[in-house]
């Protein structure tokens, strides 16, 4: 689910980037914020960070004694994305493996649909491997699939989420 | 897997922050991200280089999975769904998946049928009709 969140953050402006003109300072704070926002990529609690939509508040700066850098507490609004357990979503197959398929959903690349979670589909090897069921419904690369999220995992080192999904339920499967 | 064993979106058991936070439909995110991208395009020759991978992948995704493209239609979808006492989360799932039948709608958002809530099949049917009308006239 995509969310609009309001977050408090601290932005540190190095001493050498400080300028006497107030307008330049505001610009510097925005540049820093945007930069840190995209470097951070995601957090366990909020999910992926897509885009800052507005800078709502800049608090009073505090000088750091040793370096002379100034720390500004800011509040901004942004768009985030997080997969929730039990949520029904749509994604695109980008890899067909022997024991399941990998899907892309929003910014998440590793959404795994195991063959155990689509028991009526059988793996068909070949140049363009796919999964087929009795009703000739086909799951192959670039097919759009509606699924339910059964688990998510946060990988701290990669700042990334993985998800396990299933087709077990009504109205789930490939969509036209 | 997930640390919060209790979380289950099907029963609307999701974190406080998700119940209160403003959820966004794919089509709404698409409008916001495309607008951001256009702004970047005016400022730089190579805008794709200016955006994060998260931004790029999300933009591709919402473009592909938006049922409504026209900004007026997007606004109307939210307006219509807002009349039905839905949680933010439920509203967005319905707007994203656009179920065609009452049965499908309940399968996508089982929590709308929980006890004590005023959604009978007729009300859901009317909601789906309203939605499909927007699509037709978009």
Contact call for A50 and B33, based on CB within 8 A: yes
The verdict on residue B83 lying in a domain is yes
| Among chain A residues, CA nearest to B66 | A90
Residue B20, min C-alpha distance to chain A (Å): 10
C-alpha span between B122 and B131 (Å, rounded): 14
Q: Domain A88-175, what fold?
A: OB fold (Dihydrolipoamide Acetyltransferase, E2P) (2.40.50)
A92 touches chain B (CB under 8 A): yes
The verdict on residue B110 lying in a domain is yes
B contact test, residue of A36, A42, A44, A79 with most B CBs within 10 A: A79
> How many Cα atoms are found within 13 Å in the side-chain-facing hemisphere of B103?
4
Residue B103, min C-alpha distance to chain A (Å): 9
The full set of domain ranges for chain A reads: 2-81, 88-175
CATH code for the domain of B76? 1.20.1250.40
Look at the block and give the residue holding tokens 């989360």: B89
Sign of the torsion angle spanned by Cα atoms B107, B111, B117, B123 = negative
Task: For residue B3, give the 3-state DSSP assignment.
Answer: coil
Residue B118, min C-alpha distance to chain A (Å): 22
Q: What contacts A77, CB < 8 A, 6 or more positions away?
A: A4, A5, A6, A7, A52, A53, A54, A56
The verdict on residue B17 lying in a domain is no
| Among chain B residues, CA nearest to A104 | B61
**Complex confidence, ipTM:** 0.91
- What is the pLDDT tens value at each position of chain A, 176 positions in all? 999 999 999 999 988 877 666 667 888 899 999 999 999 999 998 999 999 999 999 999 999 999 999 999 999 999 999 999 999 999 999 999 999 999 999 999 999 999 999 999 999 999 999 999 999 999 999 999 999 999 999 999 999 999 999 999 999 999 97
pTM: 0.90
Q: Domain A2-81, what fold?
A: Dna Ligase; domain 1 (3.30.1490)
| Among chain B residues, CA nearest to A169 | B107
The verdict on residue B47 lying in a domain is no
- The token duo for B119 is 């959604």
């Amino acid at each position: 689910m995509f969310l609009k969140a309001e977050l408090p953050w601290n932005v540190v402006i190095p001493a050498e980037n400080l300028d006497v003109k107030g307008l330049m300072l505001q610009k510097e704070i925005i540049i820093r914020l945007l930069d840190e926002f995209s470097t951070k990529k995601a957090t366990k609690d909020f999910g992926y960070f897509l885009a800052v939509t507005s800078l709502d508040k800049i608090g009073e700066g505090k000088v750091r004694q040793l370096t002379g850098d100034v720390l500004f507490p800011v509040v901004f609004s942004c768009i985030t994305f997080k997969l929730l357990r039990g949520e029904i979503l749509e994604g695109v197959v980008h890899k067909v493996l022997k024991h399941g398929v990998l899907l892309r959903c929003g910014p998440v690349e590793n959404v795994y649909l195991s063959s155990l979670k689509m028991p009526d589909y059988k793996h068909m090897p070949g140049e363009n491997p796919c999964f087929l069921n009795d009703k000739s419904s086909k799951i192959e690369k670039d097919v759009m699939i509606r699924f339910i999220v059964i688990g998510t995992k946060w990988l701290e080192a990669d700042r990334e989420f993985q998800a396990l999904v299933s087709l077990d339920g009504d109205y789930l499967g490939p969509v036209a | 897997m997930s640390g919060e064993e209790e979380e289950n979106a099907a029963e609307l058991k999701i974190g406080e922050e998700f119940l209160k936070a403003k959820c966004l439909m794919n089509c709404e995110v698409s409008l916001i991200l495309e607008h951001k991208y256009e702004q970047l395009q005016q400022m730089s020759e190579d805008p794709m280089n200016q955006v994060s991978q998260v931004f790029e992948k999300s933009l591709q995704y919402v473009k592909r999975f938006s049922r409504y493209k026209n900004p007026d239609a997007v606004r109307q979808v939210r307006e219509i769904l807002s009349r039905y006492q839905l949680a933010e989360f439920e509203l967005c799932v319905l707007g994203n998946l656009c179920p065609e039948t009452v049965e499908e709608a309940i399968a996508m958002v089982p929590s709308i049928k929980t006890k004590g809530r005023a959604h009978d099949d007729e009300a859901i049917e009317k909601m789906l009709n309203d939605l499909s009308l927007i699509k037709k006239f978009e």
